[in-house]
Structure 1
Amino acid sequence: MSDITRGSVREPTRAEAILAAGLRDEKRRQTRRHIAEVATGLFLEHGFAQVTIAEVARTAEVSVNTVYTYFPSKEDLVFYPEEASAQRMVQMVRDRAPGQSAAAAVFAALRAELRQGDRMVGLTQGFGRFLHMVRAEPTLSARLDATAGEMVDALAETLAAETGAGPGDPLPRLIASQLGWVQDQLFREIGTRTQQGRSPGDIAESALALLAAMESLLSGTALSYATR
């Protein structure tokens, strides 16, 4: 006699529950990315200010409530967590190998993304137009600058904690600011080259050369700081 026939329902095993939760999380990630990609396409085609949340929902074939569930504000559709995290450089530094400094970890991570053609460094078709749109829209430009500032703040806090720097020590913030500058200049270079219609391979090559030039400008103190 089955469990249902006896009037009871079998409880899922722990493994089944974990699998189901993982599938739900993946479904949510896919939905969030789909909505964001649809919204970005609409913004690039019609302009950020001209597109409404209702239009995004209709084009993405979801409800307006679903859009707001994943993106509390219109700006969040452009800067969604998976690609605009203030923890981006922190994670690069935390993942560094023994004997590697904070700066070396960031440069290595950026070079790896460039060589892999990773979308995280903007090696996607239309990135130049996207960056131009962001800079042209005051609310988006302010959001981009705020995210960059939060990234520097988070990295400075991490470096201070790892090195045991005191409250009055300026080095953690100075190092974090320099690495933030490196990433900012890299994105600007990629955006400019993309708008010029250059190929991804050519863009990656020029970006790698820019990274090498910026690395040569940093002092020995910056390059060796927080070596693990």
Structure 2
Amino acid sequence: MTEPAPRLEPPPPSGSGAPAGRRERKKARTRQALADAALRLFLERGYEQVGVKEIADAADVSVTTLFKHFAGKEALVFDQDDDIEAALVAAVRDRAPGQSVLQALRAYVLRTEKDVTHPEIAAFIRLVSETPALRDYAQRMWMRHESALARAIAEEVGAPEGDATCAALAHFALASRTLTDRHPAPRRATEEIFDLLERGWEAVRPGS
């Protein structure tokens, strides 16, 4: 877990001439401070027992500022959605020579498996798994990358956009996370699921 961000100065007024880079750094620090405060409070007291005003107060910002950075309370826990989609697509498009699309996806999912032996990560996983609102939100946010991943797969294998096999591969590769998160041995489960996907993909993939 990252250290809390330092107390922020008020944002510069419009037309103040503050460099854009400085403004963006302030926004990033505010966002990080809010995410850190939310996670700390959720872990200490439970998700349902913490309100957005308490989070804003802990980060020394207003509730209005909080909602400028995060769409809702659940979003405070998951702060890298755009980065995840870009990384998924890059895993397919920038894969090593000779590596198949499915091998690249397997490697990406395995790289992003959480180390459940780390106390802080284990506490975070428990928080999400034991909080229905967070569990459902995490699943929705993860699966929303399905269309972008399906398009990237179709481009890489030379299939038309909307190809059903590419859409299915994207769906099941992402859905594997739902199964492995509940498994006592997540990495082994991931390997087994991708073994199954690989056999099926080789049989039906475009051009096979």
TM-score, length of structure 1 as denominator length: 0.66
d(CA) in 1 for partners of 2:99, 2:92: 9
> Structure 1: which 5+ runs fail to align?
1-11, 115-120, 193-205
Equivalenced residue count is: 189
User: In the superposition, relative to structure 1, how do residues 138 and 125 fare at CA in structure 2: closer, same or farther (>3 Å)?
Assistant: same
The alignment yields a C-alpha RMSD, in angstroms, of 3.3
Whether the 8 Å CA contact 2:88–2:149 is kept in 1: the answer is yes
Partner of 1:131: 125
Equivalences for residues 1-228 of structure 1 within 5 A: 20-81=19-80, 85-113=84-112, 121=114, 124-166=118-160, 169-189=163-183, 207-220=186-199, 222=201
Q: Which amino acid aligns with 1:93?
A: V
Per-residue deviation, 1:52? 1.0
C-alpha deviation, 1:58, in angstroms: 1.4
Contact 2:93–2:156 (8 Å) recurs in 1: no
Counterpart Cα distance in 1 of 2:35 and 2:126: 18
User: Which ranges of 4 or more aligned residues in structure 1 deviate by more than 6 Å?
Assistant: none
Considering only CA atoms, is the larger Rg found in Structure 1 or Structure 2? 1
Deviation per residue, 1:137-160 (Å, 9 max, x gap): 333232122123212232113222
Change (3 A) 1:153 1:63: same
TM value normalised by structure 2: 0.71
Are 1:152 and 1:180, in contact at CA under 8 Å, matched by a contact in 2?
Answer: yes
Higher RCO (CA-CA < 8 Å; seq separation 6+): 1
Percent identity among equivalent residues?
Answer: 31
CA contact under 8 A between 1:87 and 1:154: conserved in structure 2?
Answer: no
Name which of structure 1's ranges 27-36 and 130-139 shifts more when overlaid on structure 2: 130-139
Q: CA deviation at 1:86?
A: 4.3
Does the aligned pair in 2 maintain the 1:40–1:78 contact within 8 Å? yes
Do the aligned partners of 1:75 and 1:140 also contact (CA within 8 Å) in 2?
A: yes
